[in-house]
């Protein structure tokens, strides 16, 4: 595994008005009322729990407010990432879903030990290599 840091790219967010399931690129993921539904750089969508979203994102401009749809930026976070050499499954835990990684996708592990899958092209847009003492 290698360390990478997220880039500060504005992403459009809507807050879920009802419980449901989002079909992500890697599989279905459930969400609750109030969770953030993120639209990424390639039009892909995924949910983030409201609690986690409020810890890890900030409004992209002075007009933005938590809980109100708009543009947000992820705070810089260092993750561990490994490129999948073959198809793999990654459990999100809490009965939220299981993601399917294909060979060439990236499997990321965040500071809290949670893991997720990002397609290579999106990973290249959203993350850059990081080393101790950098940035």
Query: Is the distance from CB of 8 to CB of 134 less than 8 angstroms?
Result: no
Q: Give, for 55, the enclosing helix (H) or strand (E).
A: helix 50-56
In a domain, 89, yes or no: yes
Query: What pLDDT sits at residue 64?
Result: 85
In a domain, 134, yes or no: no
Q: What does the pLDDT look like over 103-122, one tens digit per residue?
A: 999 999 998 888 999 999 99
In a domain, 29, yes or no: yes
Q: What does the pLDDT look like over 47-70, one tens digit per residue?
A: 999 998 999 999 998 888 998 999
Q: What does the pLDDT look like over 4-33, one tens digit per residue?
A: 999 999 999 999 999 999 999 999 999 999
Rounded CA-CA distance 112/125 in Å is 23
In a domain, 95, yes or no: yes
Sign of CA dihedral 72, 74, 75, 76: negative
Rounded CA-CA distance 15/36 in Å is 5
Three-state SS at 81: strand
Question: Other C-beta atoms within 10 Å of 131: how many?
Answer: 10
Query: Is the distance from CB of 59 to CB of 71 less than 8 angstroms?
Result: yes
Domain containing 45: what range? 2-129
In a domain, 135, yes or no: no
Looking at the 3D structure of the chain, how many domains does it have? 1
């Amino acid at each position: 595994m290698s360390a990478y840091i997220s880039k500060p790219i504005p992403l459009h967010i809507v807050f879920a008005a009802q419980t449901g399931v989002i079909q992500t690129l890697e599989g279905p993921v459930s969400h609750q009322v109030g969770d953030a539904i993120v639209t990424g750089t390639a039009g892909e969508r995924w949910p983030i729990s409201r609690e986690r979203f409020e810890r890890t994102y900030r409004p992209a401009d002075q007009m933005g407010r938590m809980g109100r749809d708009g543009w947000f930026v992820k705070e810089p976070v260092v993750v561990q990432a490994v490129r999948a050499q073959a198809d793999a499954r990654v459990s999100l835990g809490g009965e939220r879903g299981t993601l399917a990684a294909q060979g060439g996708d990236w499997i990321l592990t965040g500071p809290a030990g949670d893991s997720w899958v990002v397609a290579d092209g999106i990973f290249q847009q959203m993350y850059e290599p990081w080393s101790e003492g950098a940035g």
